[in-house]
Amino acid sequence: MRTPRLLLSRAGCGIGLLLVAAYGGCDFQSGDSSQVASLSLKVKGDYSGGSIVSKPEGIDCGSTCATTFAVGSKVELSVTTSDSSEFVGWEGACTGSSATCSLSMDAGKEVIATFRSKSNRADLTVSFGGAGAGTVTSQPVGLQCSSECTGGFEKGTMVTLTAAPDATSVFSGWTGACTGSARTCMVTLMDAAQVTANFANPETCEQIRADAPTSMDGNRKLFVGGDQTKSFDAFCLMSVSPALTYLNLTKTAATENYSQYTTGGSATGTTVKTNYTKVRFDPLTLRIDTNDKRYATSVGAVMQGTNNVTSMPYGTAMGCQNGTANGLANIDLTGTAFAVATGALALGGTTPTGTTTPTPNGQVRATVLTGGGNCGWNAPTGANNPFNGNGAPLTVVYFP
């Protein structure tokens, strides 16, 4: 390589080639008037072999750790480690932890390469389990991954791992060197260790609240049985504990998703009608709680003997005019991932009468009910005097 005759270009830069490493910020002029810039390389940490070389040639450190390149040229530094050390990263004009660094020699520059010994280090391996997904990061920095990864740390280091589920998952706990369900765990690394971060597809709103206690009320994605292929949209009421799960009803006109106790016969007063915009849902049993009226409105008041009826459970048609099915109801699960289950509705009461159209067969989302008798009803199977808070659960099936 041609060694240029260096000329002093500004005060204080020093004289001679031996000062290039010490004054890495200097620009020089060669004897043929071409501009050159100095590049100096320093090594920190437990450097126990290997090499750092440049393209174009010039740096070959440890033997040659400082030289000059033409101003405006591109220089790439590459690190090769020995078996006993590992490269940590760059400082100065280079940054990051990649084994290569590219520089534009528009001026004199200094680069620092940091190494550490493998002899006093232990590996921490993070694996992932469950049907959900997420990431794990470490403090000190060294791990950031969404699939199995390994990082090395000084023995004796306390490593804090933090799990973060993706938008449709929850963190379900650690196994291995970490245990528990908190999103963070600490491992004091004396030898190689393995940790598994488990992520799940949430089945209920309470699972989401338990994993993220500051979650706000709102729509969420849930999964029947935690099965990723069986997702459904739900409204999560997070402001109560445990959190409650609701299905949003898209059909909310006056004649949709309502229950009615019609006056007549021994039922006197004003017809009671209850309209629903959301229904409380148990995703573990696939049953609607027909008595939850948090998102319902009722009008009317009926006297049945000594009973004062002011509201009706979901999916219930009732009347007390003997021989007449004057009670009315509508179930419409359009827009949800569910349909009324076979055998989910039945007539009951004294001399009951009524119809269910169409008859649910596990594929019916919208059903019109009539019910009555002396007194009688058409309502979810198992109901007894289904008015006010006496409704029976309505069974549904997953039907995306």
Confidence at residue 33, expressed as pLDDT on a 0 to 100 scale: 52
Q: How many CB atoms lie within 10 A of CB 76?
A: 13
Residue 23, pLDDT above cutoff 50: no
The answer to whether 346 and 373 are in contact (CB under 8 A) is no
Please give the Cα distance from 24 to 308 (Å, whole number): 93
- Mean pLDDT, residues 32-42: 83
220 confidence band (pLDDT: 50, 70, 90): very high
Q: Which residue has the higher pLDDT, 182 or 1?
A: 182
**Least reliable range by pLDDT among 28-42, 124-138, 153-167, 309-323:** 28-42
Residue 30, pLDDT above cutoff 80: no
The three-state secondary structure class of 286 is coil
Please give the Cα distance from 110 to 66 (Å, whole number): 9
28 confidence band (pLDDT: 50, 70, 90): very low
Residue 202, pLDDT above cutoff 60: yes
Confidence at residue 63, expressed as pLDDT on a 0 to 100 scale: 79
- Mean pLDDT, residues 319-340: 97
For residue 358, cis peptide bond before it (omega within 30 degrees of 0): yes
Structure tokens that stand for 358 in this block: 């169409």
Residue 13, pLDDT above cutoff 50: no
Residue 197, pLDDT above cutoff 80: yes
Residue 25, pLDDT above cutoff 60: no
Residue 226, pLDDT above cutoff 70: yes
Confidence at residue 116, expressed as pLDDT on a 0 to 100 scale: 79
Structure tokens that stand for 123 in this block: 């590996």
Residue 320, pLDDT above cutoff 80: yes
The answer to whether 371 and 318 are in contact (CB under 8 A) is yes
The answer to whether 235 and 278 are in contact (CB under 8 A) is yes
241-255: burial string, b at 16+ Cβ within 10 Å, e else: eebbbbbebebeeee
Residue 124: strand pairing partners: 151, 193
The answer to whether 111 and 40 are in contact (CB under 8 A) is yes
Q: How many CB atoms lie within 10 A of CB 275?
A: 22
The answer to whether 315 and 259 are in contact (CB under 8 A) is yes
Q: What is 121-200's CATH number?
A: 3.10.20
Summarised one tens digit per residue, pLDDT across range 99-130 is: 999 999 999 999 999 887 777 889 999 999 99
How many helical (H) and strand (E) elements, i.e. helices and strands, does the chain have?
Answer: 1, 34
CA 360 to chain CA centroid, nearest Å: 36
48 confidence band (pLDDT: 50, 70, 90): low
Q: Which residue has the higher pLDDT, 62 or 356?
A: 356
Residue 61, pLDDT above cutoff 50: yes
The answer to whether 122 and 89 are in contact (CB under 8 A) is no
CA 78 to chain CA centroid, nearest Å: 38
Confidence at residue 45, expressed as pLDDT on a 0 to 100 scale: 75
229 confidence band (pLDDT: 50, 70, 90): very high
Please give the Cα distance from 119 to 312 (Å, whole number): 74
Question: Maximum distance among all alpha carbons in the chain?
Answer: 117
Residue 269, pLDDT above cutoff 60: yes
| Percentage of the chain modeled with pLDDT above 90 | 80
Structure tokens that stand for 97 in this block: 């932890």
Residues 6+ apart with CB under 8 A from 213: none
Backbone phi, then psi, for 86, in 5-degree steps?
-135, 150
pTM attached to this predicted model: 0.71
| Percentage of the chain modeled with pLDDT above 70 | 90
- Mean pLDDT, residues 145-153: 91
Output the average pLDDT for the chain: 90
Please state whether beta strands 144-145 and 170-176 pair in parallel, antiparallel, or not at all (unpaired).
unpaired
Please give the Cα distance from 397 to 393 (Å, whole number): 13
With CA atoms as reference, report the closest residue to 318 among 385, 231, 268: 385
Q: Please, where in the chain does CATH 3.10.20 lie?
A: 17-117, 121-200
The domain 17-117 is placed in CATH, from the list 2.30.29, 3.10.20, 2.40.128, 1.10.10, at: 3.10.20
Residue 234, pLDDT above cutoff 50: yes
Confidence at residue 50, expressed as pLDDT on a 0 to 100 scale: 76
- Mean pLDDT, residues 223-250: 97
